[in-house]
Structure 1
Amino acid sequence: MVKRSLPYQNKEGESILDKGIIDIELWRFIAAYVFVLLLLFIVKWRGISREKQIILASFRMTIQLIMAGYILTYIFDHPSPWLTIGIIVIMEAFAVRNIFKQVKYEMDKKLKGIAALSLLIGTLISLFYFNMVVIHFSPWYEPRYFIPIAGMIVGNSMTGITLGINTLLGGLKDQREKVEGALMLGATPKAASKKYVDNAFDAAILPTLNNMLGMGIIFLPGMMTGQILSGISPLVAIEYQIAILLGIVGSVALTVISFILMGYKQLFTRDAQLNV
Protein backbone atom coordinates (compact mmCIF):
# COMPACT_ATOMS: atom_id res chain seq x y z
CA MET A 1 0.00 0.00 0.00
CA VAL A 2 1.10 3.60 -0.52
CA LYS A 3 2.48 5.17 2.63
CA ARG A 4 0.69 8.33 3.66
CA SER A 5 1.86 11.24 5.75
CA LEU A 6 0.10 11.93 9.01
CA PRO A 7 -2.36 14.81 8.49
CA TYR A 8 -2.62 15.94 12.10
CA GLN A 9 -0.04 18.47 13.33
CA ASN A 10 0.32 20.86 16.23
CA LYS A 11 1.10 24.57 15.95
CA GLU A 12 4.82 23.84 15.68
CA GLY A 13 4.20 21.59 12.68
CA GLU A 14 4.98 18.40 14.57
CA SER A 15 2.77 15.38 14.12
CA ILE A 16 0.62 14.80 17.16
CA LEU A 17 0.20 11.16 16.11
CA ASP A 18 3.90 10.37 16.14
CA LYS A 19 4.34 10.39 19.91
CA GLY A 20 4.41 6.64 20.39
CA ILE A 21 2.08 4.55 22.52
CA ILE A 22 2.00 5.05 26.28
CA ASP A 23 3.78 2.24 28.10
CA ILE A 24 1.59 1.04 30.96
CA GLU A 25 3.54 0.77 34.20
CA LEU A 26 3.31 -2.52 36.08
CA TRP A 27 1.29 -1.19 38.99
CA ARG A 28 -1.14 0.51 36.61
CA PHE A 29 -1.45 -2.73 34.65
CA ILE A 30 -2.26 -4.61 37.87
CA ALA A 31 -4.77 -1.88 38.76
CA ALA A 32 -6.85 -2.94 35.74
CA TYR A 33 -7.77 -6.15 37.60
CA VAL A 34 -10.00 -4.06 39.87
CA PHE A 35 -12.66 -4.64 37.21
CA VAL A 36 -12.41 -8.40 37.84
CA LEU A 37 -12.81 -7.74 41.57
CA LEU A 38 -15.86 -5.62 40.76
CA LEU A 39 -17.38 -8.47 38.75
CA LEU A 40 -16.64 -10.95 41.57
CA PHE A 41 -18.30 -8.63 44.06
CA ILE A 42 -21.43 -8.31 41.91
CA VAL A 43 -21.87 -12.05 41.30
CA LYS A 44 -21.24 -12.75 44.99
CA TRP A 45 -23.73 -10.09 46.00
CA ARG A 46 -26.36 -11.43 43.61
CA GLY A 47 -25.74 -15.05 44.60
CA ILE A 48 -24.61 -16.09 41.11
CA SER A 49 -22.20 -19.04 41.23
CA ARG A 50 -19.61 -17.82 38.76
CA GLU A 51 -16.65 -16.97 41.00
CA LYS A 52 -14.48 -19.93 39.98
CA GLN A 53 -15.16 -19.40 36.28
CA ILE A 54 -14.35 -15.69 36.50
CA ILE A 55 -11.08 -16.33 38.34
CA LEU A 56 -10.11 -19.16 35.98
CA ALA A 57 -11.00 -17.12 32.89
CA SER A 58 -9.00 -14.12 34.13
CA PHE A 59 -6.00 -16.29 34.99
CA ARG A 60 -6.04 -18.19 31.71
CA MET A 61 -6.51 -15.02 29.69
CA THR A 62 -3.50 -13.41 31.38
CA ILE A 63 -1.19 -16.42 31.04
CA GLN A 64 -2.24 -17.20 27.46
CA LEU A 65 -1.79 -13.62 26.26
CA ILE A 66 1.59 -13.23 27.97
CA MET A 67 2.75 -16.46 26.33
CA ALA A 68 1.36 -15.31 22.99
CA GLY A 69 3.23 -12.02 23.39
CA TYR A 70 6.59 -13.74 23.85
CA ILE A 71 5.92 -16.18 21.00
CA LEU A 72 4.88 -13.40 18.62
CA THR A 73 7.90 -11.32 19.59
CA TYR A 74 10.17 -14.21 18.62
CA ILE A 75 8.28 -14.86 15.36
CA PHE A 76 8.32 -11.17 14.41
CA ASP A 77 12.07 -11.03 15.03
CA HIS A 78 12.69 -14.26 13.09
CA PRO A 79 10.20 -14.27 10.18
CA SER A 80 9.92 -17.63 8.44
CA PRO A 81 7.30 -19.15 6.13
CA TRP A 82 7.38 -22.36 8.18
CA LEU A 83 6.71 -20.53 11.44
CA THR A 84 3.84 -18.62 9.83
CA ILE A 85 2.36 -21.81 8.37
CA GLY A 86 2.76 -23.51 11.74
CA ILE A 87 0.84 -20.71 13.48
CA ILE A 88 -2.05 -20.84 11.01
CA VAL A 89 -2.23 -24.65 11.36
CA ILE A 90 -2.42 -24.29 15.16
CA MET A 91 -5.11 -21.59 14.83
CA GLU A 92 -7.21 -23.77 12.54
CA ALA A 93 -6.79 -26.83 14.77
CA PHE A 94 -7.89 -24.99 17.91
CA ALA A 95 -10.77 -23.36 16.03
CA VAL A 96 -12.04 -26.77 14.87
CA ARG A 97 -11.71 -28.11 18.41
CA ASN A 98 -13.71 -25.18 19.78
CA ILE A 99 -16.43 -25.70 17.19
CA PHE A 100 -16.89 -29.30 18.28
CA LYS A 101 -17.00 -28.23 21.94
CA GLN A 102 -19.47 -25.39 21.40
CA VAL A 103 -21.94 -27.22 19.20
CA LYS A 104 -24.73 -28.34 21.52
CA TYR A 105 -25.87 -31.25 19.36
CA GLU A 106 -24.22 -34.54 18.55
CA MET A 107 -22.41 -34.73 15.21
CA ASP A 108 -21.09 -37.87 13.55
CA LYS A 109 -17.58 -38.13 12.12
CA LYS A 110 -18.66 -37.17 8.60
CA LEU A 111 -20.41 -34.02 9.79
CA LYS A 112 -17.42 -33.07 11.94
CA GLY A 113 -15.16 -33.60 8.95
CA ILE A 114 -17.36 -31.37 6.81
CA ALA A 115 -17.34 -28.66 9.49
CA ALA A 116 -13.53 -28.76 9.67
CA LEU A 117 -13.17 -28.75 5.88
CA SER A 118 -15.63 -25.85 5.56
CA LEU A 119 -13.65 -23.78 8.05
CA LEU A 120 -10.43 -24.43 6.13
CA ILE A 121 -12.03 -23.58 2.78
CA GLY A 122 -13.63 -20.35 3.97
CA THR A 123 -10.74 -19.01 6.01
CA LEU A 124 -7.82 -19.92 3.75
CA ILE A 125 -9.44 -18.64 0.55
CA SER A 126 -10.42 -15.37 2.23
CA LEU A 127 -7.08 -15.01 4.02
CA PHE A 128 -4.88 -15.47 0.98
CA TYR A 129 -7.11 -13.32 -1.24
CA PHE A 130 -7.10 -10.58 1.40
CA ASN A 131 -3.32 -10.75 1.91
CA MET A 132 -2.36 -11.06 -1.75
CA VAL A 133 -4.89 -8.72 -3.38
CA VAL A 134 -6.28 -6.27 -0.82
CA ILE A 135 -3.17 -5.48 1.27
CA HIS A 136 -0.50 -7.05 -0.94
CA PHE A 137 2.42 -7.19 1.49
CA SER A 138 5.74 -8.86 0.81
CA PRO A 139 6.92 -11.45 1.61
CA TRP A 140 3.59 -13.27 1.75
CA TYR A 141 4.43 -14.83 5.12
CA GLU A 142 5.28 -11.52 6.86
CA PRO A 143 4.07 -12.43 10.38
CA ARG A 144 3.25 -8.87 11.51
CA TYR A 145 0.46 -8.82 8.92
CA PHE A 146 -0.31 -12.48 8.32
CA ILE A 147 -0.84 -13.65 11.92
CA PRO A 148 -3.12 -10.85 13.24
CA ILE A 149 -5.25 -10.93 10.09
CA ALA A 150 -5.47 -14.73 10.24
CA GLY A 151 -6.54 -14.54 13.89
CA MET A 152 -9.43 -12.20 13.11
CA ILE A 153 -10.60 -14.15 10.08
CA VAL A 154 -10.36 -17.60 11.70
CA GLY A 155 -11.90 -16.43 14.99
CA ASN A 156 -14.93 -14.82 13.39
CA SER A 157 -15.44 -17.74 11.00
CA MET A 158 -15.30 -20.15 13.93
CA THR A 159 -18.05 -18.19 15.68
CA GLY A 160 -20.12 -18.00 12.50
CA ILE A 161 -20.04 -21.70 11.66
CA THR A 162 -20.75 -22.63 15.30
CA LEU A 163 -23.87 -20.47 15.26
CA GLY A 164 -24.84 -21.90 11.90
CA ILE A 165 -24.49 -25.52 12.98
CA ASN A 166 -26.37 -24.98 16.23
CA THR A 167 -29.18 -23.16 14.43
CA LEU A 168 -29.46 -25.77 11.67
CA LEU A 169 -29.42 -28.82 13.94
CA GLY A 170 -31.65 -27.16 16.52
CA GLY A 171 -34.19 -26.11 13.91
CA LEU A 172 -34.39 -29.56 12.34
CA LYS A 173 -34.71 -31.25 15.73
CA ASP A 174 -37.37 -28.85 17.01
CA GLN A 175 -39.37 -29.01 13.79
CA ARG A 176 -38.83 -32.68 13.05
CA GLU A 177 -42.55 -33.33 12.50
CA LYS A 178 -42.84 -30.55 9.92
CA VAL A 179 -39.75 -31.70 8.06
CA GLU A 180 -40.84 -35.32 8.06
CA GLY A 181 -44.33 -34.28 6.99
CA ALA A 182 -42.90 -32.41 4.02
CA LEU A 183 -40.79 -35.45 3.10
CA MET A 184 -43.84 -37.71 3.27
CA LEU A 185 -45.68 -35.38 0.91
CA GLY A 186 -42.91 -35.80 -1.65
CA ALA A 187 -40.58 -32.90 -0.88
CA THR A 188 -36.87 -33.49 -1.46
CA PRO A 189 -34.49 -33.17 1.53
CA LYS A 190 -33.22 -29.93 -0.01
CA ALA A 191 -36.72 -28.44 -0.22
CA ALA A 192 -37.79 -29.76 3.21
CA SER A 193 -34.74 -28.28 4.93
CA LYS A 194 -34.45 -25.00 2.97
CA LYS A 195 -36.11 -22.85 5.63
CA TYR A 196 -33.82 -24.17 8.36
CA VAL A 197 -30.73 -23.95 6.17
CA ASP A 198 -31.51 -20.31 5.37
CA ASN A 199 -32.11 -19.59 9.07
CA ALA A 200 -28.74 -21.14 9.89
CA PHE A 201 -26.93 -18.97 7.34
CA ASP A 202 -28.75 -15.87 8.59
CA ALA A 203 -27.84 -16.63 12.22
CA ALA A 204 -24.20 -17.14 11.27
CA ILE A 205 -23.70 -13.81 9.51
CA LEU A 206 -25.96 -11.70 11.76
CA PRO A 207 -23.32 -10.90 14.46
CA THR A 208 -20.90 -9.62 11.81
CA LEU A 209 -23.62 -7.53 10.14
CA ASN A 210 -24.63 -6.06 13.52
CA ASN A 211 -21.00 -5.10 14.15
CA MET A 212 -20.86 -3.38 10.78
CA LEU A 213 -24.07 -1.44 11.48
CA GLY A 214 -22.82 -0.09 14.82
CA MET A 215 -19.18 0.42 13.93
CA GLY A 216 -17.92 3.99 13.89
CA ILE A 217 -21.02 5.38 15.63
CA ILE A 218 -21.73 3.13 18.61
CA PHE A 219 -18.19 1.81 19.08
CA LEU A 220 -14.70 1.79 17.62
CA PRO A 221 -13.40 -1.71 16.82
CA GLY A 222 -10.33 -3.13 18.50
CA MET A 223 -8.09 -3.21 15.45
CA MET A 224 -8.76 0.42 14.61
CA THR A 225 -8.35 1.53 18.23
CA GLY A 226 -5.03 -0.30 18.52
CA GLN A 227 -3.70 1.32 15.37
CA ILE A 228 -4.75 4.78 16.48
CA LEU A 229 -3.14 4.26 19.90
CA SER A 230 0.08 3.20 18.19
CA GLY A 231 0.23 6.53 16.32
CA ILE A 232 -1.30 5.69 12.94
CA SER A 233 -3.59 8.23 11.31
CA PRO A 234 -7.29 7.48 11.96
CA LEU A 235 -7.89 7.64 8.19
CA VAL A 236 -5.37 4.87 7.53
CA ALA A 237 -6.73 2.86 10.47
CA ILE A 238 -10.23 3.18 9.02
CA GLU A 239 -9.04 1.82 5.67
CA TYR A 240 -7.60 -1.26 7.34
CA GLN A 241 -10.68 -1.74 9.53
CA ILE A 242 -13.11 -1.54 6.62
CA ALA A 243 -10.96 -3.92 4.58
CA ILE A 244 -10.62 -6.52 7.34
CA LEU A 245 -14.36 -6.37 8.10
CA LEU A 246 -15.15 -7.08 4.47
CA GLY A 247 -12.65 -9.95 4.57
CA ILE A 248 -14.35 -11.33 7.69
CA VAL A 249 -17.77 -11.12 6.02
CA GLY A 250 -16.46 -13.05 3.04
CA SER A 251 -14.77 -15.67 5.20
CA VAL A 252 -17.84 -16.26 7.39
CA ALA A 253 -20.07 -16.46 4.31
CA LEU A 254 -17.77 -18.94 2.52
CA THR A 255 -17.30 -21.06 5.63
CA VAL A 256 -20.99 -21.35 6.45
CA ILE A 257 -22.23 -21.85 2.88
CA SER A 258 -19.59 -24.56 2.38
CA PHE A 259 -20.86 -26.39 5.45
CA ILE A 260 -24.48 -25.99 4.43
CA LEU A 261 -23.97 -27.20 0.86
CA MET A 262 -21.94 -30.23 1.94
CA GLY A 263 -23.44 -30.89 5.35
CA TYR A 264 -27.19 -30.80 5.01
CA LYS A 265 -27.13 -33.99 2.93
CA GLN A 266 -25.56 -35.84 5.86
CA LEU A 267 -28.65 -35.03 7.94
CA PHE A 268 -30.79 -37.27 5.75
CA THR A 269 -30.53 -40.97 4.96
CA ARG A 270 -30.39 -42.37 1.43
CA ASP A 271 -34.12 -42.99 1.75
CA ALA A 272 -34.69 -39.26 2.39
CA GLN A 273 -35.38 -39.69 6.10
CA LEU A 274 -34.31 -37.10 8.66
CA ASN A 275 -31.29 -38.37 10.56
CA VAL A 276 -30.80 -35.96 13.47
Structure 2
Amino acid sequence: MKKKQIIIAAAAVLILLAAAFWYGGDAPGLQGWSLSQDATQSSAGSSQDSSTDSSGPSSSAEPEGDNSASDGASAEGSTSGENTQPAPQEPGSSAQGQNTSDQSTPTPDTSSKPEETTPPTDPQPETPSSSQNTQPEEQATTCSISIVCTTVLDHLDWLTPGKEDILPAGGVMLAATEVEPQEGETVFSLLQRITRENGIPMEASFTPGTGSAYVEGIGNLYEFDCGQRSGWLYFVNGISPGYSCSEYTLKPGDRVEWVYTCDLGQDVGATVAGG
Protein backbone atom coordinates (compact mmCIF):
# COMPACT_ATOMS: atom_id res chain seq x y z
CA MET A 1 0.00 0.00 0.00
CA LYS A 2 2.77 2.35 0.81
CA LYS A 3 4.47 1.70 -2.52
CA LYS A 4 1.26 2.46 -4.38
CA GLN A 5 0.86 5.68 -2.51
CA ILE A 6 4.41 6.64 -3.33
CA ILE A 7 3.89 5.81 -7.00
CA ILE A 8 0.64 7.76 -7.10
CA ALA A 9 2.27 10.77 -5.42
CA ALA A 10 5.18 10.64 -7.85
CA ALA A 11 2.80 10.45 -10.81
CA ALA A 12 0.85 13.42 -9.50
CA VAL A 13 4.04 15.38 -9.14
CA LEU A 14 5.05 14.49 -12.70
CA ILE A 15 1.66 15.53 -14.02
CA LEU A 16 1.91 18.86 -12.22
CA LEU A 17 5.42 19.40 -13.53
CA ALA A 18 4.39 18.53 -17.08
CA ALA A 19 1.46 20.91 -16.90
CA ALA A 20 3.69 23.64 -15.55
CA PHE A 21 6.24 23.04 -18.29
CA TRP A 22 3.59 23.02 -20.98
CA TYR A 23 1.95 26.24 -19.97
CA GLY A 24 5.29 27.87 -19.18
CA GLY A 25 6.59 27.33 -22.74
CA ASP A 26 9.08 24.64 -21.73
CA ALA A 27 7.16 21.57 -22.88
CA PRO A 28 9.30 18.52 -23.59
CA GLY A 29 7.98 18.46 -27.16
CA LEU A 30 9.59 21.76 -27.83
CA GLN A 31 12.98 20.37 -26.82
CA GLY A 32 13.02 17.50 -29.27
CA TRP A 33 10.97 14.96 -27.24
CA SER A 34 8.30 13.00 -29.00
CA LEU A 35 4.82 13.38 -27.54
CA SER A 36 3.87 9.88 -28.63
CA GLN A 37 5.77 8.20 -25.86
CA ASP A 38 3.59 6.41 -23.39
CA ALA A 39 3.16 8.01 -20.08
CA THR A 40 3.03 4.54 -18.52
CA GLN A 41 6.62 3.79 -19.49
CA SER A 42 7.75 6.84 -17.67
CA SER A 43 5.75 5.90 -14.61
CA ALA A 44 8.51 3.71 -13.31
CA GLY A 45 10.01 5.05 -10.15
CA SER A 46 13.61 4.91 -11.13
CA SER A 47 12.95 6.37 -14.59
CA GLN A 48 10.67 8.98 -13.10
CA ASP A 49 13.34 10.02 -10.63
CA SER A 50 15.96 10.21 -13.32
CA SER A 51 13.58 12.08 -15.59
CA THR A 52 12.77 14.51 -12.84
CA ASP A 53 16.46 14.97 -12.16
CA SER A 54 17.23 15.43 -15.83
CA SER A 55 14.20 17.59 -16.41
CA GLY A 56 15.09 19.78 -13.47
CA PRO A 57 18.44 20.94 -14.72
CA SER A 58 17.16 21.07 -18.25
CA SER A 59 14.34 23.28 -17.18
CA SER A 60 16.75 25.38 -15.17
CA ALA A 61 19.12 25.51 -18.13
CA GLU A 62 16.35 26.50 -20.49
CA PRO A 63 15.49 29.70 -18.70
CA GLU A 64 19.19 30.46 -18.61
CA GLY A 65 19.21 30.09 -22.39
CA ASP A 66 16.19 32.31 -22.54
CA ASN A 67 17.90 34.81 -20.31
CA SER A 68 21.01 34.69 -22.46
CA ALA A 69 18.84 35.16 -25.48
CA SER A 70 17.08 38.03 -23.83
CA ASP A 71 20.44 39.41 -22.77
CA GLY A 72 21.69 39.04 -26.32
CA ALA A 73 18.58 40.74 -27.56
CA SER A 74 19.02 43.51 -25.08
CA ALA A 75 22.70 43.76 -26.01
CA GLU A 76 21.77 43.89 -29.66
CA GLY A 77 19.18 46.50 -28.84
CA SER A 78 21.72 48.53 -26.96
CA THR A 79 24.26 48.21 -29.75
CA SER A 80 21.63 49.07 -32.29
CA GLY A 81 20.69 52.02 -30.15
CA GLU A 82 24.29 53.03 -29.97
CA ASN A 83 24.63 52.65 -33.72
CA THR A 84 21.56 54.75 -34.30
CA GLN A 85 22.78 57.53 -32.01
CA PRO A 86 25.94 58.41 -33.96
CA ALA A 87 23.95 58.25 -37.18
CA PRO A 88 22.36 61.71 -36.68
CA GLN A 89 25.70 62.98 -35.51
CA GLU A 90 27.59 61.75 -38.60
CA PRO A 91 25.59 63.78 -41.18
CA GLY A 92 27.10 67.24 -41.56
CA SER A 93 24.02 69.11 -40.36
CA SER A 94 26.10 71.00 -37.80
CA ALA A 95 28.91 71.49 -40.31
CA GLN A 96 26.38 72.83 -42.79
CA GLY A 97 25.15 75.22 -40.14
CA GLN A 98 28.66 76.37 -39.53
CA ASN A 99 29.23 76.78 -43.25
CA THR A 100 26.12 78.85 -43.60
CA SER A 101 27.16 80.97 -40.63
CA ASP A 102 30.62 81.37 -42.13
CA GLN A 103 29.10 82.33 -45.45
CA SER A 104 26.90 84.92 -43.80
CA THR A 105 29.74 86.51 -41.83
CA PRO A 106 32.00 87.49 -44.76
CA THR A 107 29.21 89.34 -46.52
CA PRO A 108 29.03 92.17 -43.91
CA ASP A 109 32.83 92.33 -43.91
CA THR A 110 32.95 92.88 -47.68
CA SER A 111 30.23 95.49 -47.42
CA SER A 112 32.19 97.37 -44.75
CA LYS A 113 35.47 97.31 -46.72
CA PRO A 114 34.24 99.39 -49.68
CA GLU A 115 32.92 101.95 -47.21
CA GLU A 116 36.48 102.42 -45.92
CA THR A 117 37.90 102.77 -49.42
CA THR A 118 35.37 105.36 -50.62
CA PRO A 119 36.17 108.20 -48.11
CA PRO A 120 39.80 108.66 -49.21
CA THR A 121 38.54 109.41 -52.72
CA ASP A 122 36.75 112.54 -51.44
CA PRO A 123 39.80 114.46 -50.10
CA GLN A 124 41.82 113.72 -53.24
CA PRO A 125 40.07 116.33 -55.41
CA GLU A 126 40.83 118.91 -52.72
CA THR A 127 44.56 118.81 -53.52
CA PRO A 128 44.27 120.34 -57.00
CA SER A 129 42.40 123.29 -55.52
CA SER A 130 45.35 124.03 -53.20
CA SER A 131 47.79 123.65 -56.07
CA GLN A 132 45.68 125.99 -58.16
CA ASN A 133 45.84 128.55 -55.38
CA THR A 134 49.64 128.34 -55.25
CA GLN A 135 50.09 128.58 -59.02
CA PRO A 136 48.96 132.23 -59.33
CA GLU A 137 51.23 133.15 -56.40
CA GLU A 138 54.26 131.74 -58.24
CA GLN A 139 53.33 133.53 -61.45
CA ALA A 140 54.38 137.03 -60.37
CA THR A 141 54.58 139.57 -63.20
CA THR A 142 55.97 142.58 -61.28
CA CYS A 143 58.92 143.50 -59.11
CA SER A 144 59.42 146.31 -56.58
CA ILE A 145 62.08 149.01 -56.12
CA SER A 146 62.78 151.45 -53.27
CA ILE A 147 65.47 154.12 -52.49
CA VAL A 148 66.30 155.08 -48.88
CA CYS A 149 69.08 156.91 -46.96
CA THR A 150 67.90 156.54 -43.36
CA THR A 151 71.40 155.83 -42.04
CA VAL A 152 72.45 159.41 -42.81
CA LEU A 153 69.99 160.65 -40.21
CA ASP A 154 72.00 158.81 -37.57
CA HIS A 155 75.26 160.46 -38.68
CA LEU A 156 74.37 164.05 -39.53
CA ASP A 157 77.63 165.22 -37.97
CA TRP A 158 79.44 163.27 -40.71
CA LEU A 159 77.37 164.81 -43.49
CA THR A 160 78.98 167.31 -45.85
CA PRO A 161 77.87 170.82 -44.90
CA GLY A 162 74.96 172.09 -47.00
CA LYS A 163 73.62 168.61 -47.74
CA GLU A 164 71.03 168.72 -44.99
CA ASP A 165 68.55 170.44 -47.28
CA ILE A 166 68.60 167.62 -49.86
CA LEU A 167 67.71 164.86 -47.41
CA PRO A 168 64.12 163.63 -47.88
CA ALA A 169 61.67 163.39 -45.00
CA GLY A 170 62.34 160.23 -43.03
CA GLY A 171 65.25 159.43 -45.34
CA VAL A 172 62.96 157.87 -48.00
CA MET A 173 63.59 159.09 -51.55
CA LEU A 174 61.29 156.48 -53.15
CA ALA A 175 58.94 154.18 -51.30
CA ALA A 176 58.56 150.59 -52.54
CA THR A 177 56.99 150.81 -55.99
CA GLU A 178 55.61 147.95 -58.10
CA VAL A 179 56.84 147.91 -61.70
CA GLU A 180 56.74 145.46 -64.56
CA PRO A 181 60.28 144.52 -65.53
CA GLN A 182 61.09 144.67 -69.22
CA GLU A 183 62.69 141.77 -71.01
CA GLY A 184 66.40 141.57 -70.13
CA GLU A 185 66.18 144.54 -67.78
CA THR A 186 68.90 144.79 -65.11
CA VAL A 187 68.92 146.41 -61.68
CA PHE A 188 70.81 149.39 -63.11
CA SER A 189 68.51 149.88 -66.12
CA LEU A 190 65.49 149.70 -63.81
CA LEU A 191 67.06 152.37 -61.58
CA GLN A 192 67.60 154.59 -64.61
CA ARG A 193 63.97 154.15 -65.68
CA ILE A 194 62.37 154.66 -62.26
CA THR A 195 64.45 157.75 -61.35
CA ARG A 196 63.72 159.33 -64.71
CA GLU A 197 59.98 158.70 -64.31
CA ASN A 198 59.97 160.20 -60.77
CA GLY A 199 62.34 163.12 -61.46
CA ILE A 200 65.08 161.92 -59.12
CA PRO A 201 68.65 162.83 -60.17
CA MET A 202 70.97 159.83 -60.62
CA GLU A 203 74.62 159.71 -61.70
CA ALA A 204 76.74 156.65 -62.54
CA SER A 205 80.08 155.74 -64.08
CA PHE A 206 81.14 152.76 -66.18
CA THR A 207 84.26 150.64 -66.02
CA PRO A 208 86.16 150.65 -69.32
CA GLY A 209 86.35 147.31 -71.07
CA THR A 210 83.67 145.57 -68.99
CA GLY A 211 80.99 148.21 -69.21
CA SER A 212 79.85 147.51 -65.64
CA ALA A 213 78.06 150.46 -64.04
CA TYR A 214 78.80 152.05 -60.70
CA VAL A 215 76.20 154.34 -59.11
CA GLU A 216 77.91 157.41 -57.66
CA GLY A 217 74.92 159.42 -56.47
CA ILE A 218 71.11 159.38 -56.21
CA GLY A 219 69.04 162.44 -55.32
CA ASN A 220 72.21 164.60 -55.17
CA LEU A 221 73.56 162.40 -52.34
CA TYR A 222 76.92 161.02 -53.44
CA GLU A 223 79.52 158.68 -52.10
CA PHE A 224 81.75 160.12 -49.36
CA ASP A 225 79.07 162.75 -48.51
CA CYS A 226 78.67 161.14 -45.06
CA GLY A 227 82.16 159.89 -44.31
CA GLN A 228 84.98 158.13 -46.08
CA ARG A 229 83.11 154.79 -45.94
CA SER A 230 79.79 156.03 -47.31
CA GLY A 231 78.13 155.26 -50.64
CA TRP A 232 75.20 153.46 -52.35
CA LEU A 233 74.49 149.69 -52.18
CA TYR A 234 71.73 147.58 -53.71
CA PHE A 235 69.93 144.51 -52.34
CA VAL A 236 67.78 141.97 -54.20
CA ASN A 237 65.33 140.03 -52.04
CA GLY A 238 67.27 141.09 -48.92
CA ILE A 239 70.68 139.93 -50.21
CA SER A 240 73.62 142.03 -51.43
CA PRO A 241 74.88 140.27 -54.59
CA GLY A 242 78.36 141.82 -54.38
CA TYR A 243 78.75 142.57 -58.10
CA SER A 244 77.76 145.36 -60.46
CA CYS A 245 74.10 146.33 -60.66
CA SER A 246 74.35 146.30 -64.47
CA GLU A 247 75.13 142.56 -64.38
CA TYR A 248 72.08 141.48 -62.38
CA THR A 249 69.12 140.61 -64.65
CA LEU A 250 65.71 141.00 -63.02
CA LYS A 251 62.95 138.44 -62.94
CA PRO A 252 59.30 138.78 -61.86
CA GLY A 253 58.91 138.85 -58.09
CA ASP A 254 62.30 140.41 -57.30
CA ARG A 255 62.46 143.06 -54.58
CA VAL A 256 65.14 145.71 -55.28
CA GLU A 257 66.33 148.08 -52.51
CA TRP A 258 68.84 150.91 -52.95
CA VAL A 259 70.35 151.81 -49.57
CA TYR A 260 72.90 154.47 -48.58
CA THR A 261 75.57 153.19 -46.17
CA CYS A 262 77.90 155.16 -43.92
CA ASP A 263 80.17 152.19 -43.01
CA LEU A 264 80.76 150.07 -46.13
CA GLY A 265 77.51 148.20 -45.67
CA GLN A 266 78.06 147.04 -42.10
CA ASP A 267 75.41 149.43 -40.80
CA VAL A 268 72.82 148.06 -43.28
CA GLY A 269 73.61 144.34 -43.06
CA ALA A 270 76.04 144.05 -45.99
CA THR A 271 79.78 143.47 -46.01
CA VAL A 272 80.58 144.60 -49.56
CA ALA A 273 80.13 148.12 -50.94
CA GLY A 274 79.27 148.49 -54.58
CA GLY A 275 77.02 150.26 -56.98
Q: Which TM-score tier does this pair reach, normalised by the shorter chain?
A: under 0.3
Report the TM-score when normalising by structure 1.
0.22
Structure with bigger strand share is 2
Looking at CA atoms only, which structure, 1 or 2, has the larger radius of gyration?
Answer: 2
Q: Which structure exhibits the higher relative contact order, with contacts defined as CA atoms closer than 8 Å and separated by 6 or more residues?
A: 1
